[in-house]
Amino acid sequence: MLNKILAVAAVSAAVVGCSSAPKLQLDNGSTLYTADKVYTQTNLHPDEVRRRLYSINYQQAGLIPRCTEVTIKDASAKKMIFEADGTTYHYFFHKASGSFDDNIKKYFGPACKKSDLRGLNSIDKKGLKEGKVLKGMTKDGVILAIGHPPAHVTPSLKADVWKYWSNRFNTFNVVFDKKGRVKRVQD
């Protein structure tokens, strides 16, 4: 435990010393560095070969399930390094994602709220478990299953079409009906 406290203190000091580093500050004033445990808030889809994720939320083949406990190792103005299930990942920031701190709060937090699952239907729960979008899912279910759509191409979650990237070159749209349920996924 003492080693963990010293490691957190060292990382916190390094981040404080770098004025351009993200604060990773939560709404209650604490930071993710000082939280005993940090959890993924949505499923994450890393590039497993390169052990990378991107703030633009590329939908790579890997899957880090929602509520996975992670350890934040380091953060700078351009990336955050974290460990999940013994694997180290690099989370790269892109300015089109908005504020790095706000982006990080969408995907990492000090607790995993089971209450987020209460309003989900059975299709949402299946999509969340599989880490993919299924016809009939709600908007909340889609966010938990594959994360938030990049804000620079989907500025409002009230929109009927959300755009995601599979990688740097390929995109797909999640199209919702008037009731806010997935009608189709369009390449």
Q: What is the pLDDT of residues 158-186, one digit of tens each?
A: 999 999 999 989 999 999 999 999 999 99
Q: What is the structure's pLDDT at 6? A: 34
Q: Is 107 exposed, middle or buried (0-12, 13-18, 19+ CB in 10 A)?
A: buried
User: With a threshold of 0.75, does the pTM exceed it?
Assistant: yes
Domain residue ranges in the chain:
2-109, 114-186
Q: How confident is the model at residue 156 (pLDDT cuts 50, 70, 90)?
A: very high
Q: Is pLDDT above 60 for 21?
A: no
Q: How many CA atoms lie within 13 A of 60 on its CB side?
A: 20
Tell me what the mean pLDDT of segment 9-24 comes to. Answer: 46
Least confident range from 38-52, 107-121, 124-138: namely 107-121
3-state per-residue secondary structure call for the chain: CHHHHHHHHHHHHHHHHCCCCCCCECCCCCECCCCCCEEECCCECCECCCCEEECCCCCCCCCECCCCEEEEEEECCCEEEEEECCEEEEEECCHHHCCHHHHHHHHEECCCCHHHHCCCCHHHHHHHHHCCCCCCCEHHHHHHHHCCCCCCCCCCCCCCEEEEECCCCCEEEEEECCCCEEEEEEC
Q: What is the pLDDT of residues 58-87, one digit of tens each?
A: 999 999 999 999 999 988 888 999 999 999
Tokens coding 26: 């939560």
Q: What is the structure's pLDDT at 25? A: 64
Q: What is the structure's pLDDT at 33? A: 66
Q: Is pLDDT above 70 for 11?
A: no
Q: What is the pLDDT of residues 22-60, one digit of tens each?
A: 566 666 666 776 566 899 999 999 999 999 999 999 999
Q: What is the structure's pLDDT at 7? A: 40
Question: What does the alpha-carbon distance between residue 60 and residue 157 come to, in Å, rounded to a whole number?
Answer: 22
Tell me what the mean pLDDT of segment 84-98 comes to. Answer: 92
